[in-house]
Copies of this chain bind each other. A is one copy, B any other.
Amino acid sequence: MSMKKAKGDTSATRQIAGTKPAAKVRAQAAGKVAANSRASRGAGRREAILAAALDEFSARGFEATRLDDVAKRAGIAKGTIYLYFRDKDTLFQELVRAMLAPLIGGIEAMGATDLPVNLLAERLVDLFVREIYETRRQDVIRLMISEGRRFPKLAEFYYREVLSRVFDAMRALLKRAAARGEVPVALVEFPQLIAAPALVAIVWSGLFERYAPLDVRRMLKAHIDLLFAPGRAA
């Protein structure tokens, strides 16, 4: 399922991706779904459940997801879920955490480089597309956006562990770039302005893709060209 390029990654979350879409579990007459093979190995149970949960939560949203379906998709009994997760809320939150945690490591590194911003920005775009947009993490971020309000703990986690770090790193970097005149100072205060089109990409693909497909890569490229065109600065 895409993500194939994420070579080095061996973290737990990696395992979560790669589950079959299997559209209409609900409609399946009876009996076990062609269950996830991972379900058999003791250690894999937890991951199988997370993978199944990802599928179901993405497809239907938090409230509409039935743990019965998650279990079926994971190839386990419903009660087994409760051996690994306290309840539905916890399952959801741990899923989101597990999927986003791997992002954290790579973030701090970013602030270190000192490439010219426009170059860096291009790498960032590439990273976003390959590691998020073409990945199951897109779904997770969409879930954060949709359900985050009901999970303040999660929103806080996401803000604290992901967003604030990304933005801090960006600010540090941008400040230096601005000092070199490579970048308008306004960006230092609002790094969100750099990330905004990524948010658009995720929201758009969830809601309007069918009415108006969006070439995300090109849009993002256009965006950084706009912001970081050589010879720019406020």
A residues contacting B by CB (< 8 A) are 60-64, 144-150, 152, 155-156, 158-160, 163-164, 184, 186-187, 189-190, 192-193, 195-197, 199-200, 203-204, 206-208, 210-212, 214, 218-219, 222-223, 225-227, 229, 234
Query: Cα distance A186–B197 when bound, in Å?
Result: 14
Tell whether A146 pairs with B144 under 8 Å between CB atoms, given A63-B64, A207-B159. no
The chain B residue sitting closest to A233, CB to CB, is: B229
A211 and B147 contact, CB distance less than 8 A: no
Partner of A208, one of B146, B159, B190, B229: B159
The chain B residue sitting closest to A211, CB to CB, is: B159
Query: Cα distance A208–B140 when bound, in Å?
Result: 17
B63 and A226 contact, CB distance less than 8 A: no
B212 and A203 contact, CB distance less than 8 A: no
The chain B residue sitting closest to A221, CB to CB, is: B186
Query: Cα distance A1–B106 when bound, in Å?
Result: 43
Query: Cα distance A61–B92 when bound, in Å?
Result: 16
B61 and A184 contact, CB distance less than 8 A: no
A212 and B164 contact, CB distance less than 8 A: yes
Tell whether A200 pairs with B211 under 8 Å between CB atoms, given A186-B222, A226-B227. no
Query: Cα distance A179–B41 when bound, in Å?
Result: 64
Partner of A193, one of B152, B164, B192, B223: B223
Tell whether A226 pairs with B186 under 8 Å between CB atoms, given A155-B208, A159-B208, A197-B192. yes
A189 partner residues in chain B, CB cutoff 8 A: 218, 222
A199 and B207 contact, CB distance less than 8 A: no
A211 and B160 contact, CB distance less than 8 A: yes
A163 partner residues in chain B, CB cutoff 8 A: 208
The chain B residue sitting closest to A164, CB to CB, is: B212
Q: How far is the CB of A94 from chain B (nearest CB, A)?
A: 17
